C-alpha cells in the first residue's frame, strides 16, 4: 500500500538523491513531506507528487509518516532518532553514523542482511565506503569464506556532501583558469591532489573513516573478529568511490566461480575485460545503481587463498540514498 514518506534534510546531497530514487523506483507514496531547518522552511522542492514546501522539523510532525529518511548529521539523529521511531511512529532509516555500532540497531545492506531488520523501527544505513565494499565482498565470503580483508579507497568529494562537491568544482575551475583556490571542507586543497585523511584520526593511527569500514564490515557480515585494515583517501572525483580490495579466503579461490557469483549477485555489475580496457571506474559507476567490480585476479601474496579486485560505486546512491530506499522496500512494502 502507498506510504506516507518523510525526508529530513531534503536539500542536502543525500536528501535530494532520496527524492530522486523514490521517484525512479516507483516507490508507492501517498504523500511526501520534507523537513528541514527553520532556515530552509518554505523552500519549494519538486517531487513526483508535485511541488512540496519544506516544513520546519518537529518530532510530532515527522512522526505522522510511515517511513522517515534521516539525511542529516549524527548529532541530530542521536537527539531525535529514538523518539521518532518510538511505537506508533514511522520506520526510521538513519543515514548518519549515530546508531551504526549500536548492537540494538540493525545496520543493513538489504541484498546481504535485510532479515536482521525484521521487527525493528530504527535502522542504520551504512557508511558509503562500507556499503560499496560489501556488495562485492559478501557474495565472495559466502562462497570461499574470509580470513582477512585489506582495502585502500579512492573517495569522491560527494562523501563530504554538497559543500564538498562545490569546493572541488570551484577549485578545479579556478585551477584551470590559473586562479588560486583554497580549502574549507577538506583538510587540504583537493584539486590536483589526493588526501589520505577522511574524518578524524583515532588513537590507533587509523582515521574514523577507516575504522568505520572495519567496524561496519564486521557487523554486517556478523563476523565480530574479522581482521579488516583500510586506508581511506580522498581524490578529486565527484561522486563515485573506488576501492582496491584484497581478501584472504578460507578456501582456494576459483576465478571462474568468482565471475559467476559476481555476475549473478543483485546490485553488482561485473566489468572485467582488461584486454578491452574494461574495468570499474568512477566515471562509469556514477549514476548507476549497480556497484562495478573488476580487475579480478589471484593475489600473489596469499596464493591460492587470495583475491584482488577493484570496486566502484556511486557514493550517493549505493553509498546512501539507494541503500536507504532499498531498506524501506525490504521492510515496509
Ligand atoms: C566520506 N564516507 O566519503 C564518507 C561519507 N559518509 O567522506
Answer yes or no: are the C-beta atoms of 299 and 150 closer than 8 Å: no
148: burial class by Cβ within 10 Å (0-12, 13-18, 19+)?
Answer: middle
Say how far apart CA 294 and CA 286 lie, in whole Å. 16
What's the 236 CA to ligand 1 centre distance in angstroms? 14
Determine the residue of 159, 195, 215, 313 to mutate for testing ligand 1's pocket, defined as the one with the most ligand atoms within 8 A of the Cβ atom: 159
Say how far apart CA 283 and CA 266 lie, in whole Å. 21
Q: Which residues of the chain form CATH 3.40.50.720?
A: 3-125+320-331
> Is pLDDT at 333 greater than 80 in this prediction?
no
Each residue's pLDDT tens digit, 196-216: 999 999 999 999 999 999 999
What's the 164 CA to ligand 1 centre distance in angstroms? 10
> Is pLDDT at 116 greater than 90 in this prediction?
yes
What's the 304 CA to ligand 1 centre distance in angstroms? 33
Nearest alpha carbon to residue 85 among 109, 105, 55: 105
Query: Residue 51: which H helix or E strand, with range?
Result: strand 50-53
ipTM comes to 0.96
Residues 6+ apart with CB under 8 A from 235: 154, 155, 156, 190, 194, 195, 242
What's the mean pLDDT when you consider all of the chain? 97
Residues 6+ apart with CB under 8 A from 242: 153, 154, 155, 235, 280, 281, 282, 285, 310, 311, 312
209 pocket-lining for ligand 1 (C-beta < 6 Å): yes
Q: Which residues of the chain form CATH 3.30.360.10?
A: 130-315
Say how far apart CA 321 and CA 168 lie, in whole Å. 21
Say how far apart CA 331 and CA 7 lie, in whole Å. 17
Each residue's pLDDT tens digit, 175-188: 999 999 999 999 99
C-alpha distances (whole Å) from 124 to each of 56, 240, 285, 331 are: 23, 21, 24, 13
Determine the residue of 77, 160, 187, 213 to mutate for testing ligand 1's pocket, defined as the one with the most ligand atoms within 8 A of the Cβ atom: 160
Each residue's pLDDT tens digit, 117-162: 999 999 999 999 999 999 999 999 999 999 999 999 999 999 999 9
User: Which segments of the chain does DSSP mark as H helices, in order?
Assistant: 13-24, 59-62, 74-85, 110-113, 128-144, 161-176, 208-221, 255-264, 282-285, 322-331
DSSP 321: I
Please state the rounded mean pLDDT for residues 260-276. Answer: 98
> Is pLDDT at 261 greater than 80 in this prediction?
yes
Please state the rounded mean pLDDT for residues 243-252. Answer: 98
Please state the rounded mean pLDDT for residues 101-126. Answer: 97
Given 3.30.300.30, 3.40.30.10, 1.10.238.10, 3.40.50.720, which CATH number is that of 3-125+320-331? 3.40.50.720
Each residue's pLDDT tens digit, 70-97: 999 999 999 999 999 999 999 999 999 9
Each residue's pLDDT tens digit, 13-23: 999 999 999 99
pLDDT class of 287 with cuts at 50, 70, 90: very high
Fold held by 130-315: Dihydrodipicolinate Reductase; domain 2 (3.30.360)
Amino acid at each position: 500500500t502507498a506510504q506516507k514518506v518523510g525526508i529530513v534534510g531534503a536539500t542536502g546531497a543525500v536528501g535530494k538523491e532520496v527524492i530522486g530514487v523514490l521517484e525512479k523506483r516507483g516507490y508507492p507514496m501517498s504523500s511526501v513531506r520534507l523537513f528541514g531547518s527553520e532556515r530552509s522552511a518554505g523552500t519549494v522542492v519538486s517531487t513526483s507528487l508535485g511541488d512540496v514546501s519544506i516544513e520546519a522539523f518537529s518530532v510530532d510532525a515527522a512522526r505522522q509518516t510511515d517511513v522517515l529518511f534521516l539525511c542529516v548529521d549524527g548529532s541530530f539523529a542521536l537527539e531525535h532518532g529514538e523518539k521518532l521511531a518510538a511505537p506508533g511512529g514511522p520506520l526510521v532509516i538513519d543515514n548518519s553514523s549515530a546508531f551504526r555500532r549500536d548492537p540494538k540497531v540493525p545496520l543493513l545492506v538489504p541484498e546481504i542482511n535485510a532479515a536482521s531488520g525484521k521487527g525493528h523501527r530504527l535502522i542504520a544505513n551504512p557508511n558509503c565506503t562500507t556499503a560499496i565494499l560489501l556488495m562485492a565482498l559478501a557474495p565472495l565470503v559466502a562462497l570461499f569464506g574470509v580470513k582477512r580483508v585489506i582495502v585502500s579507497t579512492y573517495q569522491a568529494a560527494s562523501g563530504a556532501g554538497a559543500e564538498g562537491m562545490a569546493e572541488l568544482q570551484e577549485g578545479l575551475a579556478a585551477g584551470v583558469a590559473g586562479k588560486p583556490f583554497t580549502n574549507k571542507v577538506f583538510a587540504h586543497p583537493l584539486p590536483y591532489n589526493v588526501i589520505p585523511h577522511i574524518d578524524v584520526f583515532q588513537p590507533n593511527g587509523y582515521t574514523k573513516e577507516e575504522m568505520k569500514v572495519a567496524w561496519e564490515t564486521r557487523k554486517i557480515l556478523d563476523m565480530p573478529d574479522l581482521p579488516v585494515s583500510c586506508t581511506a583517501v580522498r581524490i578529486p572525483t565527484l561522486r563515485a568511490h573506488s576501492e582496491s580490495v584484497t581478501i584472504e579466503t578460507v578456501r582456494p579461490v576459483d576465478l571462474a566461480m568468482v565471475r559467476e557469483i559476481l555476475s549473478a549477485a543483485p546490485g553488482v555489475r561485473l566489468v572485467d575485460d582488461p584486454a578491452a580496457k574494461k574495468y570499474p571506474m568512477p566515471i562509469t559507476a556514477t549514476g548507476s545503481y549497480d556497484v562495478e567490480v573488476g580487475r579480478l585476479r589471484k593475489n600473489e601474496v596469499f596464493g591460492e587463498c587470495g583475491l584482488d579486485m577493484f570496486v566502484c560505486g556511486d557514493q550517493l546512491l549505493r553509498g546512501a540514498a539507494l541503500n536507504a530506499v532499498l531498506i524501506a522496500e525490504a521492510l515496509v512494502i
